[in-house]
Amino acid sequence: MQLTSLPNSLRPREKLIEKGPKALTDAELLAIFLRTGLPGMNVIELAQHLLNENKTLHNLFNASQDEFCAQKGLGMAKYVQLQAVLELSQRYMQERCQRGAVFNSPNAVYEYLTLQMRGLQQEVFMVLYLDSQNRLVKDEILFYGTINSASVYPREVLKAALKNNAAAIILAHNHPSGIAEPRQADKLITDRLQQALQLVDINVLDHIIVGGETCVSFAQRGLI
């Protein structure tokens, strides 16, 4: 069925204007991004086809350039447009957080860290530096590669925390495999960092692991 044949209440753009973006399904939101369908397939049907093929939005948005462009109804122009949208979303989140958002619970940082780390093919170790009110001062990737006691140096984390005048920090790293469960090495390095930072009265509030769209909090697990 042609999109123009649908009542306004079922057309994604009209529905968004009337009810707001949260009322739309993933396929409807994706349809607005795609704008046009293909012969014999309206834009909502195309969007649903892409979601079915990729299983999740995460898989679609994190496909390589070649994988993305090879899919039905997509191409280089859509790839460039999507990368711009994703980057704008990430910068918006950074700006919002850097304007004084308070990180006082694991849920408060999940969305921020997911935007920062999702889709990364390499493991990275990030530190969020907070002031005495648990407001974000700065975030910084300090280490790259598989996290273990040999690749994460407590003295470097300590030096960076002091440089940024942090009253507390949140540790974070990603698991590109998509499995966010803590490894033994993750627990060991967290303990070492806690011990080092306690010497200068800087609290380690949490260590969060990002795996795809899933986050695991050491604080919620009672590991910190």
Helix (H), strand (E) at residue 69: helix 65-69
> What are the respective helix, strand and coil percentages of the chain, to the nearest 5?
50, 20, 30
- pLDDT per residue over 70-116, tens digit each? 998 899 999 999 999 888 887 777 676 665 566 766 777 887 888 77
Res 146: pLDDT: 72
Residue 169 has pLDDT above 90, yes or no: yes
pLDDT digits (tens, 9 = 90+) for 172-221: 999 888 888 888 888 999 999 999 999 999 999 999 999 877 889 998 89
Q: Give the per-residue pLDDT at 202.
A: 95
Provide the pLDDT for residue 67. Answer: 93
Q: How confident is residue 61, by pLDDT bands cut at 50, 70 and 90?
A: confident
Nearest CA-CA partner of 219 in 171, 179, 174, 173 = 171
pTM of the model: 0.64
Which residues does 22 contact at the CB level (< 8 Å), separation at least 6? none
Of 59, 30, 24, 60, nearest to 44 by C-alpha is 30
Burial of 88 (0-12, 13-18, 19+ CB in 10 A): exposed
For the chain, what percent of residues have pLDDT higher than 90? 41
Q: Which of 11-25, 105-119, 134-148 has the lowest mean pLDDT?
A: 105-119
Average per-residue pLDDT for the chain: 86
